[in-house]
Amino acid sequence: MDGNKRQRRVTSSHWGAFEVETEGDRIIATHPFGPDPSPPAIPAILPAAVHHASRVARPSVRRAWLATRDRAGRGDGDYVTPPWDEALDIAAAEIDRIRKAHGNSAIYGGSYGWASAGRFHHAQGQVHRFLNMIGGYVASFGSYSTGCAQSIMPHVFGENFLTLTYEVQDSYATIAQHTETLVMFGGINPKNSMVSMGGITEHQTAGWFDRFAEKGMTRINIGPQRGDAPEGCDWLPCRPGSDTALMLALAHVLEAEGLADHAFLDRYTTGYDRFRPYLKGEVDGTPKSPEWAAPLTGISPEQTRTLARRMASTRTLITVAWSLQRAEHGEQPYWMSAVLAAMLGQIGLPGGGVGYGYGAIGGIGKDFKPLGGMTLPQGGNKVSDVIPVARVADMLLNPGQPYDFNGERRTYPDIRLVYWAGGNPFHHHQDLNRLHAAWTRPETIIVNEPWWTATAQRADIVFPATTPYEREDIGRSPLDDYLFHMPQLIPPVGEARDDYAIFAGLAERLGVGDAFTEGRDPAAWIAHLYAGITARGAEIGIAVPSLDALRAMNWVKLDLATDEQPKPVLRRFRADPEAAPLKTPSGKIEIFSERIDSFGYDDCPGHPVWLPPKEWPGAATTAAPLHLVSPQPGDKLHSQLEAALADVAGARPETILIHEDDAAPRGIASGDLVRVFNARGAVRARARVTGDILTGVVALPTGAWFGAPGSNMDANGNPNVLTRDVGTSRLGQGTSAHSALVEVERL
Give whole-number Cα distances, 18 to 33, 479, 738, in Å: 4, 18, 33
Give whole-number Cα distances, 635 to 66, 126, 676, in Å: 38, 28, 21
> Which residue in 114, 235, 403, 500 is the catalytic one?
114
Residue type, 55: R
Round to whole Å and give the CA distance between 307 and 487: 52
Element (H, E) at 155: helix 147-157
* Residue 65 known to be catalytic: no
CB–CB of 457/78 below 8 Å? no
> Which residue in 65, 79, 108, 112 is the catalytic one?
112
Round to whole Å and give the CA distance between 474 and 545: 13
Q: What secondary structure letter does DSSP report for 167? A: I
Q: How many CB atoms lie within 10 A of CB 620?
A: 16
Round to whole Å and give the CA distance between 415 and 137: 10
Helix (H), strand (E), coil (C) string for 282-310: CCCCCCCCHHHHHHHHCCCHHHHHHHHHH
Q: How many CB atoms lie within 10 A of CB 454?
A: 26
Dihedral of CA 432/434/437/443: which sign? Answer: negative
Round to whole Å and give the CA distance between 86 and 92: 10
Write phi, then psi, for 433 (nearest 5 degrees): -65, -35
Q: Which of 16, 72, 189 is nearest to 445 (CA)?
A: 72
* Residue 114 known to be catalytic: yes
Dihedral of CA 503/506/510/515: which sign? Answer: positive
Round to whole Å and give the CA distance between 723 and 677: 10
CB–CB of 456/446 below 8 Å? no
Cis peptide bond N-terminal to 350, omega within 30:
no
Reduce the DSSP state of residue 451 to 3 states and report it.
strand
By 3-state DSSP, what share of the chain in percent is helix, strand and coil, each rounded to 5?
35, 20, 45
Contacts 24+ apart (CB under 8 A), 668-676: 668/744, 668/746, 672/746, 672/747, 673/746, 673/747, 674/744, 674/745, 674/746, 674/747, 675/713, 675/744, 675/745, 675/746, 675/747, 676/628, 676/700, 676/717, 676/719, 676/722, 676/742, 676/743, 676/744
Q: Which of 85, 192, 205, 79 is nearest to 495 (CA)?
A: 85
Residue 347: partners with Cβ closer than 8 Å, 6 or more residues away: 264, 268, 338, 341, 353, 354, 570, 574, 589
Round to whole Å and give the CA distance between 697 and 629: 7
Element (H, E) at 132: helix 123-133
Query: Strands 655-659 and 697-699, how do they pair?
Result: antiparallel
Q: Which of 472, 572, 571 is nearest to 527 (CA)?
A: 472
Q: Which of 687, 675, 686, 689 is nearest to 721 (CA)?
A: 675
Instruction: Indicate which residues carry an active-site annotation.
Output: 112, 114
